[in-house]
Amino acid sequence: MFRKTPPVSNQPVQQLDRVTSVLGPGITWKGNLRGSGGVRIEGAFEGEITIRGLVVVGETGRVNCENLQSNVVIVAGAVKGNIMAEKLEIRSTGRVWGDVTTTAFSTEEGAFLRGQVRMEERIELNLEEENSIIAEPLSKDEEPGE
């Protein structure tokens, strides 16, 4: 009855918990993905991922990267690389090969993880402030795997 209500900000709230970009099945992308929002990967991706928001690797998604950083990561496909996220969920069809650093971790029965899990009370994500997701392909001179 006598609780003080917190002040309400007049700034619009950005939806970081919903998918705004999709890499569809049949698409292969080599390069970097960074920005804010939500991305769903159903195709093949090779490169670095740094997203302020949500990353979903769908059942047909295949990610091969050194590091994947995001606030929330949901894996239903395959990820080869280290994951740093505030929240990580590996679904029953999900496969992860790499080390995980997170504050909240859940798996479904049948999920696969080969690597170490490091639980922290708080983690520092190096996420740049971007208004949208930016894809950076490899240049023509660069060969994959260099």
Share of the chain above pLDDT 70, in %: 75
Indicate the domain borders of the chain.
21-116
Report the chain's mean pLDDT, rounded to a whole number.
84
At residue 30, does pLDDT exceed 90?
Answer: yes
Contact call for residues 16 and 52 (beta carbons, < 8 A):
yes
Q: How far apart are CA 115 and CA 102, in angstroms?
A: 13
The pLDDT assigned to 98 comes to 97
Q: Which two tokens stand for residue 19?
A: 């998918």
Q: Phi and psi for 137 in degrees, rounded to 5?
A: -70, 160
Q: How far apart are CA 23 and CA 88, in angstroms?
A: 20
Short-list 127, 116, 119, 89, CA closest to 102:
119
Q: How far apart are CA 17 and CA 14, in angstroms?
A: 9
Q: What is the pLDDT of residues 98-139, one digit of tens each?
A: 999 999 999 999 999 999 999 999 888 877 655 556 666 655
The more confident residue out of 46 and 2 is 46
Confirm whether pTM is higher than 0.85: no
At residue 3, does pLDDT exceed 60?
Answer: no
Q: Mean pLDDT, to the nearest integer, of 39-58?
A: 95
At residue 80, does pLDDT exceed 60?
Answer: yes
Q: Is 116 exposed, middle or buried (0-12, 13-18, 19+ CB in 10 A)?
A: exposed
